[in-house]
Amino acid sequence: MVFGKKDHLVGLDIGSAFVKVAELKITKKGKFLQKFGVAPVPDGVIEEGRIIDRETLAQVIRSLFKSQKIKEKNVAISTGGHSVVIKTISTPTVPEGELTKTIRAEAEQYIPYDIDDVNIDYQILGETEFSPDQMNVLLVAVKKDLVAEYIDLIQKAGLNPSIIDVDAFALQNIFETLPDQKPGRVTMLVDVGASKISLNILKDANSMMMRDMMSGCNQVVEAVRDRLDTDFETAARILQGKVDPPGDPSRNSSGGKAIVEEICNSISNGWCAEICEVVHTFESGTNDVKLEKVLLSGGGGFIENLTRSLSIELEVPVSNINPFEGLTFDPNRFDDIERFNLQAPIALGLAMRQVDDK
């Protein structure tokens, strides 16, 4: 969905817990990091992917642009969650002039909303392995009211929403810049955000399955808040290691750190079970295609048990993404940039977009 004309864009990742901004300079010599910054989002401003307090969020964005001295007004943003439907479908092979009508007719079978209430986009993936008369199409549908919500927010922040992308596609953009890409390898990108988990199974640069799950790091924060009888902000700071947890008032024999570890393990085991179910569904529906690698991003990457459990259950290497690995940057300006490895990928992927991209 394109709204502007200028090629150069700033990547703006608006999450439930943090807003991230990135600016790149892309030349024939490579991709150069110019600006990167992060700002916290107050609790309750975004809930389940919907913006509750647009003015507060617009102020967060304005302040972040000012602190990073970003002058560019054209931005690429992304969204996800239950208001976005991403699905690979098979349709009859038809002439290009009839494709839009065919896609729209097919889409009605897969979208749980009125077809008139969504914006639809698609990408042709090629003919199916079963018939040359059928082709695989990646279908994306986003609720129009969600799009309007984000456009209004960006305009309130004094910016121009040039592109609205999907979180999973933005993450895939930065993944494709990483070195040491083995041809034909099947990799799953797992982004564990505050209120959702996005999965994207890729073979080379082709997406083979995508899923969004309505789980996320806020589950952990809320559980710590409830068990340790504290507030949401303090619980988040405990999980970030900024303050020590108190003991559990209902279990004096158990220290606060042990309780936090127990909560993290329990919730991440639930995430692991859901993720593994998606992988098993994918593998059972494909011919001899097996997952070979998992890359984690988002706050869930800080939970060691998730990495360990996924690796054991899926029997593949699981590691945290380093999205800066394929970029060039001045180490003197960005001396601590690696601490943002898990937060930065979507903003960086958005910053790679240009207005005329499909």
pLDDT tens-digit profile of 213-268? 888 898 999 999 999 999 988 998 888 778 888 765 555 445 788 899 999 999 99
Q: CA-to-CA distance for 126 and 205, rounded, in angstroms?
A: 13
CATH of segment(s) 1-80+145-178+321-358: 3.30.420.40
Instruction: Say yes or no to pLDDT of 1 above 50.
Output: no
Angle subtended by helix axes 217-227 and 232-239, to nearest 10: 110
Residue owning tokens 């995508």: 210
Query: Residue 180: pLDDT above 70?
Result: yes
Q: What is the pLDDT of residues 101-113, one digit of tens each?
A: 888 888 888 888 8
Q: Once rounded to an integer, what is the mean pLDDT over residues 310-319?
A: 96
Q: What is the pTM of this model?
A: 0.87
CA distance 324 to 15: 20
- One DSSP character per residue, 135-198 reads EEEEEEEEEHHHHHHHHHHHHHTT-EEEEEEEHHHHHHHHHTT-S---TT-EEEEEEE-SS-EE
pLDDT at 2: 42
Write down the domain spans for the chain. 1-80+145-178+321-358, 84-139, 180-320
201-238 exposure pattern, b = at least 16 Cβ within 10 A, e = fewer? bbbeeebbbbbbbebbbbbbbebbbebbebeeebbbbb
Helices (H) and strands (E) in the chain, counts: 9, 15
pLDDT at 357: 63
Instruction: Please report the pLDDT score of residue 253 as a whole number.
Output: 41
pLDDT at 80 over 90: no
Q: Is the fold of 1-80+145-178+321-358 the same as that of 84-139?
A: no
pLDDT at site 242: 80
CATH topology of domain 84-139: Dna Ligase; domain 1 (3.30.1490)
106 or 317, which is more confident: 317
**What does the pLDDT average to over 290-300?**
94
With a cut of 50, say whether residue 188 has pLDDT above it.
yes
* pLDDT over 50 (residue 4): no
315-332 mean pLDDT: 95
162 class by beta-carbon count within 10 Å (0-12 exposed, 13-18 middle, 19+ buried): buried
Q: Report whether pLDDT(319) > 50.
A: yes
| CA distances, 223 to each of 269, 317, 357 (Å) | 14, 29, 42
Q: Alpha-carbon torsion 101, 105, 111, 115, what sign?
A: positive
Whether 5 has a pLDDT exceeding 50, the answer reads no
Q: How far apart are CA 176 and CA 297, in angstroms?
A: 15
pLDDT value of position 221: 92
State the CATH architecture for 180-320: 2-Layer Sandwich (3.30)
Spell out the alpha helix ranges (H) of the chain: 54-67, 96-107, 144-156, 167-175, 217-227, 232-239, 256-284, 304-314, 345-351
Q: What is the pLDDT of residues 67-78, one digit of tens each?
A: 999 999 999 999
Mean pLDDT rounded to a whole number for the chain: 88
b or e along 103-131 (b: 16 or more beta carbons within 10 Å of the residue's beta carbon)? beebbeeebeeeeeebeeebeebeeeeee
Per-residue confidence (pLDDT) for residue 289, from 0 to 100? 86
More confident residue, 130 or 110: 110
SS3 212: strand
